[in-house]
A and B are shown apart, each in its own frame.
Chain A
């Protein structure tokens, strides 16, 4: 029983225990029918205080990563904070009291703003009930497979 085959459609690999010639799509590990997201860039940046333009509050630090070549459409970027003890931080939001509105709301722990030529990473400065938030963040830039971008 073959789990993998190469045909004019490409490479197809079925899950263990399944025959690639008869396996339904749900039992395929790799199929040309699925979308792919190519990893274009990976790296680590350090966020730091910056000159605020009024768009983000002063309680965030910033890092900007410029792409070697602009995309047609913004790519997909993910990040993970690199803690000193080897763990990673991917907290999306904090729940806190907002003095300006007098109410509780969710506020971003970090935020990625992705343009065609760069992404800007904003990370909460931490402190108070937030604790210490790492300044060192690993990033992953995936090609936007909906666009016809060339590297």
Chain B
């Protein structure tokens, strides 16, 4: 069990820190804090990357691909989670809102016409719907799914 928290409000210190699970707070790097007195934070309850099963598909054949990829959320008692999806392109950058349709010469370079949308079936389960449209040279790599509780 490692030490994960420091609360020191003595004059001149004012440390208010929590490290990630499994990380010693005394030796944690800048990216290893859940809370730090120098940072503003938001606190979603789930943050995950869902890979697209046909991410490797390039070119126009098959011309149209659609697949529902299931994901699960932890049960934190939230009946109606707020879900935010960022689609990641095959080139490794993220798009928000999660749709990209290049406007240029079809067949030149990484011509994108992709999207990722979501459907929740219950508070703890849903699908990401990945789409590669017929005009797309490449497929989505995956999508980030972020879940928040409602402020009530």
Residues of A within 8 A of B (CB): 6-11, 24-27, 30, 32, 34-39, 53-57, 74, 76-78, 92-93, 106-108, 110-115, 142-151
- Residues B100 and A111 in contact, CB atoms below 8 Å apart: yes
- Residues B42 and A36 in contact, CB atoms below 8 Å apart: yes
Q: How many residues of B contact A (CB 8 A)?
A: 47
- Residues A114 and B47 in contact, CB atoms below 8 Å apart: no
Shortest Cβ distance from residue A51 to the other chain B in the assembled complex, whole angstroms: 13
Could you give 21 example pairs across A and B, Cβ below 8 Å? A9-B4, A26-B77, A32-B34, A37-B146, A38-B33, A39-B40, A55-B102, A56-B103, A57-B103, A74-B92, A74-B94, A76-B144, A93-B97, A106-B99, A111-B96, A111-B100, A114-B96, A115-B93, A145-B47, A149-B31, A150-B29
Shortest Cβ distance from residue A5 to the other chain B in the assembled complex, whole angstroms: 11
Known contacts A26-B77, A36-B35, A56-B102; A142/B95 CB under 8 A: no
**B residues in contact with A151, CB < 8 Å:** 30-31
B105 at the interface (CB under 8 A from A): yes
Number of A-B contacts (CB under 8 A): 127
The answer for the CA separation of A145 and B95 in the assembled complex, in Å, is: 17
B7 at the interface (CB under 8 A from A): yes
Shortest Cβ distance from residue B149 to the other chain A in the assembled complex, whole angstroms: 8
Shortest Cβ distance from residue B5 to the other chain A in the assembled complex, whole angstroms: 4
- Residues B103 and A112 in contact, CB atoms below 8 Å apart: no
The answer for the CA separation of A149 and B30 in the assembled complex, in Å, is: 8
- Residues A76 and B31 in contact, CB atoms below 8 Å apart: no
Provide the B83-111 mask, 1 if CB < 8 A to any CB of A, else 0: 00010100011111101111111001100
Shortest Cβ distance from residue B26 to the other chain A in the assembled complex, whole angstroms: 13
**A residues in contact with B48, CB < 8 Å:** 146
- Residues B39 and A38 in contact, CB atoms below 8 Å apart: yes
The answer for the CA separation of A107 and B146 in the assembled complex, in Å, is: 23
**A residues in contact with B102, CB < 8 Å:** 54-56
**B16 — nearest CB in chain A belongs to which residue?**
A11
- Residues A38 and B41 in contact, CB atoms below 8 Å apart: yes
The answer for the CA separation of A124 and B107 in the assembled complex, in Å, is: 24
The answer for the CA separation of A150 and B95 in the assembled complex, in Å, is: 22
**B residues in contact with A147, CB < 8 Å:** 31
Known contacts A10-B18, A55-B102; A37/B41 CB under 8 A: yes
Which of B41, B94, B101 has a CB less than 8 Å from the CB of A36?
B41
Which of B34, B47, B77, B144 has a CB less than 8 Å from the CB of A27?
B77
The answer for the CA separation of A55 and B96 in the assembled complex, in Å, is: 16
- Residues A76 and B35 in contact, CB atoms below 8 Å apart: no
The answer for the CA separation of A7 and B39 in the assembled complex, in Å, is: 21
B12-37 contacts to A, CB under 8 A, are 18, 21, 29-31, 33-36
